[in-house]
Chains A and B, each alone.
Chain A
Amino acid sequence: EPEVTQTPSHQVTQMGQEVILRCVPISNHLYFYWYRQILGQKVEFLVSFYNNEISEKSEIFDDQFSVERPDGSNFTLKIRSTKLEDSAMYFCASSAGRAVNSPLHFGNGTRLTVT
């Protein structure tokens, strides 16, 4: 069964450093998303991406964050200058469409630890 893959599974970085989290969505999917989950808290939406541009972003997704689809398969999340509060699990997700019968499929996440 096709799946969303994310790398690395765990990233440790120092405060102020840049990190890039990588994702390979399911191949025929058109909509891509990043969500995050701070330990013990809800999964929360960061950004959605379609047709090579951001469709929607949350208030969390400030100027320190950016997303890119550099080629036909990868989808990346960059955090320009990490803060301690960026420590979380980051999940990439994709869907075939926007209809209700096209649910999100999530990857296994990247655990980001900012020290």
Chain B
Amino acid sequence: EDQVTQSPEALRLQEGESSSLNCSYTVSGLRGLFWYRQDPGKGPEFLFTLYSAGEEKEKERLKATLTKKESFLHITAPKPEDSATYLCAVRDPHSGTYKYIFGTGTRLKVLA
């Protein structure tokens, strides 16, 4: 069964304390892995697309990496405004459209 698992479920960091979030996936033929940020009561906000193992993308304090089985979202020197839920999704390999399979997310809290 195609699925996406994220860990940890929740993470509390002090401002400036770097860490990584994990997204493990089992799909029969990856057709894109996506990271989104979701603030409370809001929709997912697109961050990155990763296509193939070894690829890396960066945006400000965030860096996403991809292997054949998992992706990491590295947060360097986080600030309180980085507090959010970070969602990982893969494109359903059996779908002809953009049917995403989402993970349950990691709730990040950065303390000042």
Enumerate A19-50 residues with CB–CB distance to B below 8 Å: 31, 33, 35, 41-45, 48, 50
B43: chain A residues at CB < 8 Å are 4, 6, 91, 93, 106-109
Distance A100 CA – B90 CA, assembled complex (angstroms) = 10
Distance A111 CA – B40 CA, assembled complex (angstroms) = 12
Q: How far is the CB of B77 from chain A (nearest CB, A)?
A: 26
Contact B98 A33, beta carbon cutoff 8 Å: yes
Distance A80 CA – B45 CA, assembled complex (angstroms) = 29
Contact B97 A48, beta carbon cutoff 8 Å: yes
A114: chain B residues at CB < 8 Å are none
A contact face: mostly helix, strand, loop, or mixed:
strand
Q: How far is the CB of B35 from chain A (nearest CB, A)?
A: 10
Listed residue (B43, B89, B92) with the most chain A CB atoms within 10 angstroms of its CB: B43
Mask for B15-48, Cβ within 8 A of A = 1, else 0? 0000000000000000110101000011111100
A81 within 8 A of B: no
A58: chain B residues at CB < 8 Å are 99
B contact face: mostly helix, strand, loop, or mixed:
loop
Known A42-B103, A103-B34; judge A98-B44 contact (CB<8 A).
no
Distance A43 CA – B44 CA, assembled complex (angstroms) = 9
Distance A6 CA – B97 CA, assembled complex (angstroms) = 22
Count B-side interface residues using an 8 Å CB cutoff. Answer: 26
Q: How far is the CB of A36 from chain B (nearest CB, A)?
A: 11
Distance A93 CA – B104 CA, assembled complex (angstroms) = 19
B51: chain A residues at CB < 8 Å are 100
B45: chain A residues at CB < 8 Å are 106
Q: How far is the CB of B84 from chain A (nearest CB, A)?
A: 14
17 contacts between A and B (CB under 8 A): A31-B97, A31-B98, A33-B98, A43-B89, A45-B99, A45-B100, A58-B99, A93-B43, A93-B98, A98-B97, A100-B31, A100-B91, A103-B46, A103-B49, A104-B98, A106-B43, A106-B45
